[in-house]
Amino acid sequence: MNLRRLTSIIRKELIQILRDRRTLVTIISLPIMQLILYGYLSNDVTHIPAAVFDESRTPESRTLLDAFENTTYVDLRYYTTGFEQVHRLIDGGDAKIGIWIPPDYAARLRSGRTAQVEVIVDASEPTSARSVLALSTQVGQELSTQLIVQETQRLSGTRPNALPVDVRPRAWYNPTLENVNFIVPGVIAIVLMFVTTFQAIVVIVRERELGTMEQLVVTPITGLELILGKVIPLVALAYVQITLTLFLASVWFHVPIKGNLALLYVLSLTFFFSTLGVGALISTVSKTFQQAAQMTQLILLPSILISGFIFPRESLPRALQVIGNVLPLTYFVIILRGILIKGIGLEYLWRQILPMAVIGVAVFAIAINRFQKRID
C-alpha cells in the first residue's frame, strides 16, 4: 500500500464531501430527523381518551374513576348519560376506552357483594389496547385489595399487617419502563448503518457512473488504496453523526448514558467499518446506482426487522436469529443499549465486537478482491 496514493484519495474525497454542501446538510440532518421522528413515535401510551357512563354517581364510583385517572394513562374526557353515547364515541375514534359503572355499583359494594364494572377497549390498535387492558385489571385489583383491607379492619378491629403474597417486581436499567430508552439506541444504530452503507455506495458507484473509474483503473492505484481512501473520510463523517445523535438522544429524549462514552466511540469504529464494507461490497458487485440501491434495500430491510431493533430477537424464528447473527447491526444494537442503558463495559461487550470485526474484515476482503482494475 502506497501512502501517497491513499492520502490523495482521502484528500480528494474530503474536498468532494465538504464542497457538496447540500448533500452534506442532508446526510447530517437525516439522522437527526429520523431520531426525532422515531423518538416521538415511541412515546409511551398515555392520556388515552376515555368515555365514562357513570350510572352510580356515588363517592364509590368517583373513587374508582379517580383511580383510573391517577394512572395518567387515561383521560376521562367524556362523561355521558347513556351507553349509546359511549358506543358512538368509540366508534368515531374520539374515545379509545369506555367505562360503564352500573347503577347498583355502590350498593353492591356496601353490602359486601362483588360489584361489576365494564371497561371497553378499542383493540383495533393492539399496543395501546394491551396496556389499557393490563391497566384496568391493575386498577380493579388495587381497589379491591384496598377494600378488603378496610373490610377486614372493620370486622376484626385489627389491621392486617401484610398481604399473603407480596410480589415486588423490579425493572432494572429502565425502572420507569420508558419505551424511548429502548427505541432510541436502536434508531441511532439503524440510522448510522443506513447512512454509512449508502454513502459508501454513493462514493464508489458515482465514479463508475461519471466515467472517472475508467481513468482510475488505468492508474497504479490498488483496490485496497481506493476503497480505504474512500471509506476513511466516511468514518469521520459517521463520528460526526453519532455525536449529534447521541447529543440529541441525551438532551432531547433524556436517554441516559450510563456507560463509558469513550468505549462506545472505540467500539463504533468496528461497526462503521463493517457497514462501510458492506456498502463497498455492494458497489463493487453492482454496475449502476439503481442496482446498488436495490441491493441495499435487500439488506437494510431485514436488518431492521431481525436485528432486535424493534422485535426482541428471542421472539424470532430460529432461522431468522441465525441470519441476524451475521448482521453488524445486531451487535451494534446490543452495544449501544448495553453502554447507554445498562452501563456495561468491555467485559460483556467483547462478545459483540468479535463477530462484528470478523464480518467487517470479511466484507472488506471480498470487496477489495471483487474490485477489478478492469472494465470487462
> Which residues make up the interface to another protein (CB under 8 A)?
2, 4-5, 7-9, 11-12, 15-16, 19-20, 210-212, 214-221, 373-376
Task: Give me the least distance between CB of 288 and another protein, in Å please.
Answer: 17
Query: Would you say 8 or 34 has its CB closer to another protein?
Result: 8
Residue with cell 370486622: 155
Task: Give me the least distance between CB of 307 and another protein, in Å please.
Answer: 35
Task: Give me the least distance between CB of 230 and another protein, in Å please.
Answer: 13
Query: Would you say 44 or 214 has its CB closer to another protein?
Result: 214
Task: Give me the least distance between CB of 277 and another protein, in Å please.
Answer: 22
Query: Would you say 220 or 312 has its CB closer to another protein?
Result: 220
| Strand, helix or coil for residue 158 | coil
Q: Which three cell numbers stand for residue 252?
A: 432531547
Q: Which three cell numbers stand for residue 346?
A: 468491555
Task: Give me the least distance between CB of 181 and another protein, in Å please.
Answer: 42
Side-chain half-sphere exposure of 323, counting CA atoms within 13 A = 14
Task: Give me the least distance between CB of 285 and another protein, in Å please.
Answer: 18
Side-chain half-sphere exposure of 134, counting CA atoms within 13 A = 8
* Helices 126-156 and 59-70: angle between axes, nearest 10 degrees: 130
Query: Would you say 13 or 60 has its CB closer to another protein?
Result: 13
Question: In whole angstroms, what is the distance from residue 56 CA to residue 249 CA?
Answer: 47
Query: Would you say 92 or 220 has its CB closer to another protein?
Result: 220
Query: Would you say 72 or 219 has its CB closer to another protein?
Result: 219
Say which residues have a Cβ less than 8 Å from residue 215's Cβ, sequence separation at least 6.
Answer: none
Q: What ranges in the chain are assigned the alpha helix state H? A: 3-19, 21-41, 59-70, 83-91, 105-110, 126-156, 179-210, 212-216, 223-251, 261-285, 289-306, 318-324, 328-337, 346-370
Query: Would you say 13 or 122 has its CB closer to another protein?
Result: 13
Q: Are the beta carbons of 188 and 182 closer than 8 angstroms?
A: no
Question: In whole angstroms, what is the distance from residue 180 CA to residue 46 CA?
Answer: 13
Alpha-carbon distance values, 242 to 35, 44, 187, 195 (Å) = 11, 25, 11, 11
Task: Give me the least distance between CB of 25 and another protein, in Å please.
Answer: 16
Task: Give me the least distance between CB of 207 and another protein, in Å please.
Answer: 9
- Closest to 339 measured CA to CA, from 253, 250, 241: 250
Query: Would you say 16 or 71 has its CB closer to another protein?
Result: 16
- Closest to 197 measured CA to CA, from 86, 271, 302: 271
